[in-house]
Amino acid sequence: MLICVMTGLASGMPLYLLIQLVPAWLRSADVSLAEIGLFSLVGLPYTWKFLWAPLMDRMSPPLGRRRGWMLLAQVGLIASIGTLGYIDPLNQTALVAIFASLIAFLSATQDVAIDAYRREILPDEELGLGNAIHVQAYRVAGLVPGSLSLILADLLPWVWVFWMTAGFMGVGVVLSLTATEPENLSPARQSFRESLVTPFSEYFGRVGWRGALLALFFMVVYKLGDNMATALATPFYLDLGFSMTEIGLVAKNAALWPAVAGGLLGGLMMLRLGINRALWVFGFVQMISILGFAWLAGVGAQLWALAAVIAFEYFGVGLGTAALTAFIARESSRAFAATQFALFTAFAALPRSIANASTGFIVESTGWVWFFLLCTVLAIPGMVALIWVAPWRGEAPEQQAGGTAEPSSLDSVAERRASE
């Protein structure tokens, strides 16, 4: 469980740097909102990481398949994050984009190794607890770039801020150097082609093309509105008139702890509700909470309103993430967990990488209030998709806790509904 804490901290820090600290840095240098919105495209490596996941399964750097890749990615992250501080964000925006893309690639590579490592070291009966701890530590890692680094930015030059932020990746380096490499339990494969193709053919063969495409579509749209609403959160707070310190102390803490509470409560509620019903209930809360941002845009720079709106929004984020993560785990096959998990989380990251790129243009065209109303509307397709992907009365009892049964196809779900 301590290892799961460390994997969460190491995995979460680079992502939050890209979605929280870098936008604040760019906005403080008077980079336009349209350009900042386009920076969401640097997260595309999170979407495509399943392409090189099979290669990481086959090749073993020094220290082993899991620890070796983790260490290589972490050393690269420290160097890349520290280098950002030497770049002029206003006059060298393209260079910032290059290094941000490199950070995203290294972070996605680390995630592939960490997810597989965590799956291999945890016994089946501890998967739920271990993954819950990892996700919450992942969120806590956001305190570094999303709170501490923003406060330091009011006191120190940016070059020092980025190097100090990069230093927190030392948690991952310590883990990679000291933890034990798990035993290689992957099935023997005859060729590279087989290792590349089999995880995908197994999934499509198991659930069918229709079921697979519907599930992948759902993974993309379930958190679409929610992700777009928070894509420009820090520039939004700055435009309202809040200082960097106020954002660091109030906004980021008001986001973190409700999200952690929502994730833990969501995990407990799923024991009672099951994954399918949790996706419906939590998705509704997640959608309604976006409207709070539209209200905040009209209220203005009042700290109490900022804290209340963000707390409700990220409580919904925590609930929705808990349900979606459980759904992804249920869809994954144990035999190909690393590659399939990378595939599913990549699809879930599509809104953050592609749709979010349009947010700056939308805000500059419509204003903040209409933008958040649009985000609420865009949450509806994910709820509609639940009719086929996770029907309210379509869950087998053994799957309600989300974990041990192999995922079933949509056809079998329909058969259970018919029998009921």
**117-344-276-310 Cα dihedral, nearest 10 degrees:** 90
Candidates 353, 379, 385; CA nearest to 293 is 379
- What is the rounded average pLDDT of the residues 162-173? 93
- What is the rounded average pLDDT of the residues 59-84? 90
By mean pLDDT, which of 115-119, 181-185, 302-306 is the weakest? 181-185
Largest CA distance in the chain: 66
Give alpha helix (H) positions in 127-243: 127-140, 143, 149-153, 158-167, 170-178, 192-221, 224-231, 233-240
In order of their start, the domains of the chain are 1-186 (1.20.1250.20), 199-420 (1.20.1250.20)
Confidence bin at 414 (pLDDT 50/70/90):
very low
pLDDT at 55 > cutoff 70: yes
Q: Tell me what pLDDT residue 398 has.
A: 42
How far is C-alpha 312 from the chain's CA centre? 19
Counts of helices then strands in the chain (DSSP H, E):
26, 0
Give alpha helix (H) positions in 222-274: 224-231, 233-240, 244-246, 252-273
Task: Please report, as a single letter, which amino acid is at residue 323.
Answer: A
Candidates 354, 359, 355; CA nearest to 371 is 359
pLDDT digits (tens, 9 = 90+) for 188-222: 555 666 667 777 788 888 888 888 899 999 998 99
- What is the rounded average pLDDT of the residues 46-57? 80
Q: DSSP letter for 407, please.
A: P
Q: Tell me what pLDDT residue 146 has.
A: 82
Q: Tell me what pLDDT residue 45 has.
A: 83
pLDDT at 294 > cutoff 70: yes
Q: Tell me what pLDDT residue 413 has.
A: 34
Tokens of residue 214, six digits: 């519907």
Cα 262–Cα 265–Cα 266 angle in degrees, nearest 5: 80
Q: Tell me what pLDDT residue 134 has.
A: 81
Task: Please report, as a single letter, which amino acid is at residue 136.
Answer: Q
Q: DSSP letter for 182, please.
A: P
pLDDT digits (tens, 9 = 90+) for 325-359: 778 877 877 667 667 878 887 778 776 666 667 78
pLDDT digits (tens, 9 = 90+) for 263-293: 778 777 877 787 888 899 999 999 999 999 9
pLDDT at 407 > cutoff 60: no
pLDDT digits (tens, 9 = 90+) for 250-265: 776 787 788 888 877 8
Confidence bin at 418 (pLDDT 50/70/90):
very low
CA 189 → CA 1, 79, 115, 193, distances in Å?
A: 31, 35, 21, 9
Cβ-contact 85, 163 below 8 angstroms:
yes
pLDDT at 169 > cutoff 90: yes
Candidates 31, 401, 361; CA nearest to 228 is 361
Percent of the chain with pLDDT over 90: 24
HSE, CB side, 13 Å, CA atoms: give it for residue 288. 9
How many angstroms separate the CA atoms of 25 and 7, rounded?
26
pLDDT at 379 > cutoff 50: yes
How many angstroms separate the CA atoms of 14 and 103, rounded?
7
By mean pLDDT, which of 69-73, 293-297, 330-334, 416-420 is the weakest? 416-420
Candidates 354, 236, 345; CA nearest to 290 is 236
Cβ-contact 122, 130 below 8 angstroms:
yes
pLDDT at 5 > cutoff 50: yes
Confidence bin at 371 (pLDDT 50/70/90):
very high
